[in-house]
Amino acid sequence: MWGKIVGVIILIIIAVGLFVPVGSITNTVSNDNNTSDVAVTYGETTYNNGNYKNTVDQYFQDNGNLDLNHVKQTVITADDVNKISGDISHKTYNSNQVLSCAMVDLNTNDDIQVDVDKSKITTVTESMYKSALNSSGITKGHVIVTSPTTATGESALAGVMKSYETATGKEIPSDLKDAANNEIYTESQVVNNTNASADDVANLVSQAKEQASQQNTTDNQTITNIVNNVASNNNINLSNNDVNLIVQSVSQSQSVKDQATDYQSQISDYVDTNGSQTLFQQLWNMLQSLINNNGSSSNTNYSN
């Protein structure tokens, strides 16, 4: 047993040498909460209803494998949502209509993973959230979206973004928020106007954005040609109005590409640093577990 403990101690020393800057050892060791880079954002309607909040908390705990007592928590209000959605969808929400909730876990440097509670979120899919988040430069983390009752999920993106801001302490530029939310709203409209599935529409928009980016263009006619070609290749029939909606969304994403790249760099730097701390914490927890187990074994032998 003590051989294992010595081995873990050696690994911790190596981890300190590789990842911990001089003068920061004390802070890293004392940071015994590896869920500090997890944030939950509640819609204010859910937060103010005990039963709703309990339902959402249980879903996050079951699907995120986390203790919510050790995560950052915040609330998104109707006013917050209306600031973003007002100029895009022209919808307004009151304090009894903001139900969707989001959890963001940045304790990983893997590519972004989005899980949506399909039993409650009726319109916006995982691929739609992922594509919209990519437009704002968010490509890392684990995102979970749910609601205590059925909801379209259109306003949930605002909560996802607030969770990212809460977890990282880095504010997302308003232009990126507008582009991402406009993309969600555009895709929802196109889904309603066509027989295409939500995922097919999200894929269409994602491909159009990629091709526009490759051509480095914001020209409407060029993007229109791209959208029409992608739609044709994917056997999706679009009206002229739907094409125009997608063109405007893709053009908007292109116009904020530099901001998205900058924010992506900030998130990646944050997650990479956090990943190093998490490795150290895992080794530290392993050491504590071995010591505790050894102590338990010793106590058991003495009692026999």
DSSP string computed for 106-151: -S--SBPEEEE-TTTB-S--HHHHHHHHHHTT--BSEEEEE-SS-B
Least confident of 56-70, 108-122, 288-302: 288-302
Higher pLDDT, 301 or 111: 111
Burial class (CB in 10 A: 0-12, 13-18, 19+), 113: middle
The answer to whether position 229 is within a domain reads yes
The answer to whether position 14 is within a domain reads no
Q: Is 293 helix (H, G, I), strand (E, B) or coil?
A: helix
Residue 154 CA to residue 183 CA, distance in Å, equals: 10
The answer to whether position 96 is within a domain reads yes
The answer to whether position 291 is within a domain reads no
Q: In what order do the strands lie in the sheet with 142-146?
A: 72-76, 38-43, 101-105, 142-146, 113-116
Count H helices and E strands in the chain, helices first.
12, 5
Q: How many domains does the chain have?
A: 1
pTM: 0.74
How confident is the model over 189-215, as a mean pLDDT?
93
pLDDT band, very low/low/confident/very high, at 244 (cuts 50, 70, 90): very high
pLDDT band, very low/low/confident/very high, at 276 (cuts 50, 70, 90): very low
Strand-pairing partners, residue 75, are 42
Q: Is 100 helix (H, G, I), strand (E, B) or coil?
A: coil
Answer yes or no: is pLDDT of 136 > 80: yes
The answer to whether position 270 is within a domain reads no
The answer to whether position 79 is within a domain reads yes
The answer to whether position 5 is within a domain reads no
Task: Convert the pLDDT of each residue in 144-174 to its tens digit.
Answer: 999 999 988 877 888 999 999 888 888 999 8
The answer to whether position 12 is within a domain reads no
pLDDT band, very low/low/confident/very high, at 9 (cuts 50, 70, 90): very low
Q: Is 42 helix (H, G, I), strand (E, B) or coil?
A: strand
Instruction: Tell me the residue range of the domain where 108 lies.
Output: 38-265
Least confident of 127-131, 211-215, 264-268: 264-268
- What does the pLDDT read at residue 8? 43
